């Protein structure tokens, strides 16, 4: 990422794509808060979201690696690059008001990952 703070990341979930303006010091929680704002009034609470960085041989990983980013982690901590794609998942049932922090979660779709290569 540049030191000017004019970078962005792409965050995908199912059939949604979010373009989020970020800086190297943006945290995972900052990114999830921006996603919540983009969704609007019916949005899920940012702490209930999970943000993943997925890397394979094509973008710096060894095999396919799926890393859950802790809320306090900065994008710089995980060497997230400008225009890199991250994935967000929600607890299953959140749309019906049944989201629980300890429940089942959506999976990071392998179909979405293949779209980026």
Q: What are the structural domain ranges in the chain? A: 7-100
Smallest CA-to-CA distance from 74 within 31, 36, 28 is with: 28
Check whether 59 has a pLDDT greater than 70.
no
Residue 117: per-residue pLDDT: 46
Cα 64 to Cα 74: distance, rounded to the nearest angstrom: 22
Average pLDDT over residues 14-40: 94
Task: Name the fold adopted by 7-100.
Answer: Ubiquitin-like (UB roll) (3.10.20)
DSSP reduced 3-state for 99: coil
Smallest CA-to-CA distance from 43 within 13, 8, 19 is with: 13
Residue 40: per-residue pLDDT: 85
């Amino acid at each position: 990422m540049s030191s000017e703070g004019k970078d962005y990341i792409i965050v995908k979930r199912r059939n949604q794509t979010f373009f989020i303006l970020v800086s190297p010091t943006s945290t995972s929680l900052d990114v999830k808060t921006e996603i919540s704002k983009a969704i609007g009034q019916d949005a899920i609470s940012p702490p209930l979201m999970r943000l993943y960085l997925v890397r394979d041989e094509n973008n710096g990983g060894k095999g396919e690696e799926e890393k859950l980013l802790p809320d306090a982690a900065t994008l710089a901590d995980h060497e997230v690059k400008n225009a890199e794609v991250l994935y967000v998942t929600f607890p299953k049932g959140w749309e019906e008001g049944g989201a629980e922090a300890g429940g089942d979660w959506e999976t990071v779709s392998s179909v979405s990952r293949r779209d980026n290569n």
